[in-house]
Amino acid sequence: NGQAALTVQYSGRGIIESVRIGGDSIQREFRFTQPFDSIEWKLIKKGLWINKEADDEVFVQKFPKKAIVHCHYAGYLLNGQSFDNSFVRTLPLQGKLGRFVPGFSLGIWNIPPGEVRVIKIAPKLAYKNRRIGIIPPHATLIYFIYRID
């Protein structure tokens, strides 16, 4: 059916520990062993940090709002509480970058397909002073993102 098998393992705090994606001839496993408070972040734009970088990786300050992305993601508050998780739903996100909060769009735009990135988004590039579901106003967000294509 073209769908890859997806297995997600969680730590005791409910944070994704590993993701295994298998299907056809491709099998990938990603491990996230660090708690949020021990992740080393690199500032790529005021209000946006990343924990994974390559020496030649270029981070963008703008993104094409109509570009379509296809990814799995898990979103967390700084206290480790999950607020959304496409891995659990086994239904990836697909949509135009202009529909998402700016920090998410900037953080995902240049991830190569098949790669994982963890980003931290300050409130000013997320939901600012708005409450969205269980996300409180002025919340900093953490996203684990796996770019499909």
Give the DSSP H/E element, type plus range, for residue 105. helix 102-108
Closest by CA to 115, choosing from 148, 75, 143, is: 148
Per-residue pLDDT band for 54 (boundaries 50, 70, 90) equals very low
Give the DSSP letter of residue 135. B
**Tens digits of residue pLDDT in 62-90:** 777 888 999 988 888 888 788 988 887 88
More confident residue, 145 or 7: 145
What strands, in cross-sheet order, belong to the sheet with 5-10?
A: 5-10, 16-23, 26-31
In order of 92, 94, 114, 125, the CA distances from 149 in angstroms are 11, 10, 7, 24
Angstrom distance (rounded) from CA 56 to CA 96: 26
Tokens 């939901």 sit on residue: 127
**Tens digits of residue pLDDT in 115-132:** 778 888 999 999 999 999
Query: Which range has the worst mean pLDDT, 20-34, 36-50, 64-78, 90-104?
Result: 20-34
Name residue 45's beta-bridge partners.
48
**Tens digits of residue pLDDT in 2-13:** 445 667 676 665
Q: What is the pLDDT of residue 132?
A: 95
More confident residue, 103 or 110: 103
Name residue 94's beta-bridge partners.
70
